């Protein structure tokens, strides 16, 4: 039985998507305009935030949000190393220095203790990542008195104590890349915040630093959410909670069938609802397990095997003494393996994944 890593499908929504795309094409309003404004309002309402500003992609969302929070050249930004490269890249591209902190390998997220060890007098912001759909402990980071930019790209819809990812910090960056829990048909992103001044500056920066196309008060970006992508996201947003619930049901089915006896699933954040962008577990020999799964048609892959602080592009941002010691990151990088996940995964496929993990195990 073939079991895909990403068990998702937009087939039943394509007729409505095609209709909405045709509407936008006929409108002649392709850059910003009413479609983007409507999505921004709907997404902000869904999250429970005051402002949503659509931008071109999730990486731009991070960079623009950091600048809107006052981060600039020479400042330091604490980021995890076990994450997608863009989390650190966004700080570097605005002239700031990413400072890498460790993660708890059980949750794959930062902790207050790992962040605290990376703080210096030059730290201007903290960027916790809600990795794989699991919530980082943003509330615990507030004690440091610094702006907190949530990297919520992989956790759209996750909640803790009635609050959604993206509303826990000072601001948040989202990605609508097609593989995300809420994805479009291309690149897209957004910055979300309750801070009026931050939202205003994000809106300014996304359009070349201009409010009126006549006067340019900042060196900004050409980074605006396409109206076509906004139309797609407006169709799919009402489906998000249902999809996330089905993802949690798949995780529960894995647990019921004993997968936790064969691998070490990530530990959900205390009091939080994981949305399982990916189902990532740890295993002592992940490459061997992946090979066994492939023999049975079960797709699996490891993520971030080379952590960001060990990537060649980050060498100039490391201390002169060399890369920091990040044992939790090293463990997470060496042992992780993503198993099939998605709202379309069937019970038979869940059983096949568990059986495949059990085959050849000792």
DSSP result, 151-196: E-TT-TT-EETTEETTSSSSEEEEE--TTSSS--SS--EEEEES-H
Catalytic positions: 180
Q: Helix, strand or coil for residue 282?
A: strand
Tell me how far the alpha carbon of residue 240 is from its chain's centroid: 15
* Torsion-angle region of 297 (φ positive above 0: left; ψ -120 to 50: alpha; else: beta): left
Q: State the Cα–Cα distance between residues 317 and 137, nearest whole angstrom.
A: 26
Owner of token pair 């605005």:
94
DSSP 8-state code for residue 56: S
Residue 293 · residue 299 · CB < 8 Å: yes
Residue 209 · residue 223 · CB < 8 Å: no
Q: State the Cα–Cα distance between residues 65 and 171, nearest whole angstrom.
A: 7
170-190 CB burial, b ≥16 within 10 A, e <16: bbbbbbbbeebbbbbbebbbb
């Amino acid at each position: 039985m073939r079991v895909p890593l990403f068990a998702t499908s937009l087939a039943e929504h394509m007729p409505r998507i095609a209709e909405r795309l045709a509407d936008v094409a006929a409108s002649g309003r392709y850059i910003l305009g009413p479609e983007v404004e409507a999505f921004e309002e709907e997404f902000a309402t869904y999250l429970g935030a005051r402002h949503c500003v659509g931008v071109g992609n999730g990486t731009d969302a991070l960079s623009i949000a950091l600048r809107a929070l006052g981060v600039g050249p020479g400042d330091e930004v604490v980021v995890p190393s076990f994450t997608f490269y863009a989390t650190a890249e966004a700080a570097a591209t605005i002239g700031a220095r990413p400072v890498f902190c460790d993660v708890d390998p059980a949750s794959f997220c930062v902790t207050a203790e790992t962040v605290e060890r990376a703080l210096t007098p030059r730290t201007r912001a903290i960027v916790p990542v809600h990795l794989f759909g699991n919530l980082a402990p943003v509330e615990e980071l507030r004690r440091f008195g610094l702006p907190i930019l949530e990297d919520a790209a992989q956790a759209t819809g996750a909640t803790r104590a009635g609050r959604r990812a993206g509303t826990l910090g000072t601001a948040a960056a989202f990605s609508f890349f097609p593989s995300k829990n809420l994805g479009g048909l291309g690149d897209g992103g957004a910055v979300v915040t309750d801070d009026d001044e931050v939202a205003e500056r994000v809106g300014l920066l996304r359009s070349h630093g201009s409010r009126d196309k006549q006067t340019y008060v900042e060196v900004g970006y050409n980074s605006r959410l396409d109206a076509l992508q906004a139309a797609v996201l407006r169709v799919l947003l009402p489906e998000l909670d249902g999809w996330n619930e089905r993802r949690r049901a798949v995780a529960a089915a894995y647990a019921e069938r004993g997968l936790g006896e064969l691998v070490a699933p990530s530990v959900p954040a205390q009091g939080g609802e994981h949305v399982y962008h990916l189902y990532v577990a740890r295993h002592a020999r992940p490459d061997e397990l992946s090979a066994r799964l492939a023999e049975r048609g079960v797709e699996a892959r490891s993520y971030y095997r080379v952590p960001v602080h060990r990537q060649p592009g980050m060498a100039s941002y490391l201390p002169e003494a060399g890369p920091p010691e990040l044992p939790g990151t090293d463990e997470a990088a060496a042992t992780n393996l993503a198993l099939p996940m998605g709202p379309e995964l069937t019970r038979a496929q869940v059983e096949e994944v568990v059986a495949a993990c059990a085959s050849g195990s000792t």
